[in-house]
A and B are shown apart, each in its own frame.
Chain A
Amino acid sequence: MRADARSTSPLRLGNLPAAVSAAKKIILLLWFIVASLATASALTPGTTETRVGQKSFAPLESRQAEPLQTAGLPQRNRSCGYELAPESLLAAYQQEWARMVVQERAAAIQAQLGVSASFGETYGVGVVQNSGTLNVIISSKSPYGLGAVNRSLLPGEQYINRGLQSKVHAEIQINNFAEQTAGNTLSVGATRPVCVGCQAELDASGVPIATKRK
């Protein structure tokens, strides 16, 4: 019985022309139903999207240009609720970027310090702007810091005051470096909470501290 059923089915693999013919009939029937209804459906490309998103399928060249924000004029960042000129917007972005870099790198280096962190070794991280360029500056409390940390610095990061027997805290070294190189410290931080003395000095210089304060 089962063998007979297979042999009479038009969709059986061995009877390919009959299967194709049956599929064609089904497709034609479906097309007729859709065309006679003449309403939008998932089978009529574009209509659904046009209705929902109000988008056009017209060629790009024929579309009306969207209004652009004019450079040089104040812009409103609706999500943040502040109004800034583009130059200030860039400066604010750089400032925020610097803050994030300092926080992330200070946390990463703190983890690399291992036991030394509990015995006074401190690294400073800062972003110094020199004639438009942002530089990530690293410093350490001890003259050479920790070899394992220094050899794991990211490309482009600059370790300063190597071999210098400085009594100055790591974060202050960065601000001093910025002053010596006519740069501007956008953000600074350290691998331990910034001490009260350093806070006073950095606050007086208007340098934002991105990591914890003591």
Chain B
Amino acid sequence: MTGESFQQYQSAVLNLPKQKQLAFCCACCEHVLPFFEYFRYDVAPRELLNTLWQAALEADFNQPELEDMIKRTSLVIPNIGEEDDMPSEIAMRASIGVLESVDVLNGKSEAAIRAASSPLDVLQLVHLHIGEPVHPDFELFEVIDNASIVPREIGKEWKILNELLSEVSLKDLSADWKLAQQDRGNQLLALYTPRFPSP
């Protein structure tokens, strides 16, 4: 992981076959969606993400249902132009990747880069929220031998990416693999919530 640049990460994401690209985006969303759920208590993005998982792993989804979920999700994601408090900023960043993943499903591969970057965007905000901002000169994709959770998350994402870049089929990964991504999200939330400032 040391020395891996964002450009390498970006091209690796773009080089994934479409289904695997979507699966990778879903995995990234799982890592941070619990932060949205912590601040907003709404199930719409979770339901949409589950549908996207189904589309990625089983290539099966219901288009009208999907469109309904997109509408419901869009209604609950905070608009930071109107709500600029830190919990709203975190909730927005933590859920926006789900809508970016919808764009990936619709063939917009550049949306995969934004969805894949969302965990890092969220963790930076979370660090700011707990009063331990990531150093301004910290190059996320250059430094890895650091105790911070942020580079460890990058390492985690690279591991997933490499798994998907290999010959392994999505059917072989599916159930346990999806659960592992959900666990990762819950672990991250559990790690930070005790340090969140009281509202």
Q: Interface residues, chain A, CB within 8 Å of chain B?
A: 112, 114-116, 118-122, 141-144, 146-148, 151, 162-163, 165, 167, 192
- Report A178 CB to chain B, min CB distance, Å: 20
Q: Are A146 and B121 in contact (CB under 8 A)?
A: yes
CA distance A162 to B124 in the complex (A): 11
Q: Are A144 and B114 in contact (CB under 8 A)?
A: no
Closest to B5 in A: A151
Q: Are A114 and B81 in contact (CB under 8 A)?
A: no
CA distance A142 to B92 in the complex (A): 11
Interface size on B, residues (CB 8 A): 33
Task: Kindly list chain B residues whose C-beta atoms are within 8 Å of the C-beta of A142.
Answer: 80, 84, 89, 93, 125
- Report B126 CB to chain A, min CB distance, Å: 11
Q: Interface residues, chain B, CB within 8 Å of chain A?
A: 6, 74, 77-84, 86, 89, 92-93, 96, 99-100, 103, 110-111, 113-114, 117, 120-121, 124-125, 128, 133-134, 136, 140-141
CA distance A188 to B89 in the complex (A): 25
Task: Kindly list chain A residues whose C-beta atoms are within 8 Å of the C-beta of B134.
Answer: 163
Interface residue SS majority, chain B: helix
A-B contacts, CB under 8 A, total: 74
Q: Are B128 and A114 in contact (CB under 8 A)?
A: no
Task: Kindly list chain B residues whose C-beta atoms are within 8 Å of the C-beta of A119.
Answer: 77-81, 92, 96
Interface residue SS majority, chain A: loop
Most buried by A among B82, B100, B110, B124: B124
Task: Kindly list chain A residues whose C-beta atoms are within 8 Å of the C-beta of B140.
Answer: 147
Q: Are B136 and A162 in contact (CB under 8 A)?
A: yes
Q: Are A163 and B133 in contact (CB under 8 A)?
A: yes
CA distance A148 to B81 in the complex (A): 20
Q: Are B124 and A115 in contact (CB under 8 A)?
A: no
Q: Are A146 and B117 in contact (CB under 8 A)?
A: yes
Q: Are A148 and B114 in contact (CB under 8 A)?
A: yes
- Report B98 CB to chain A, min CB distance, Å: 9
